[in-house]
Amino acid sequence: MAEHESLEFGKADFVLLDSVSLEEFMANLKLR
């Protein structure tokens, strides 16, 4: 059970990081 919860938290962090990276990517695109 603990491993499953850890996996869920890891996925949430990955999605959050991915969305932030996308925002930074779009910001850099607008700067060019």
How confident is the model at residue 13, as a pLDDT?
67
DSSP output for 1-32: -HHHHHHHHHHHHHHHHHHHHHHHHHHHHHH-
Taking the whole predicted model, whether its pTM rises above 0.75 is answered as no
CA–CA dist 1, 4 (Å, integer): 5
Residue 10 sits in which domain range?
Answer: 1-31
Q: What confidence tens digit (pLDDT) does each residue in 1-32 have?
A: 556 666 666 666 666 667 778 888 888 888 87
What pLDDT does 23 receive?
A: 85
Taken in order 28, 26, 23, 8, the sign of the CA dihedral is negative
Overall number of domains in the chain = 1
Say what the pLDDT of residue 26 is.
Answer: 84
Q: What is the pLDDT of residue 32?
A: 75
Tell how far CA 5 is from the center of its chain: 18
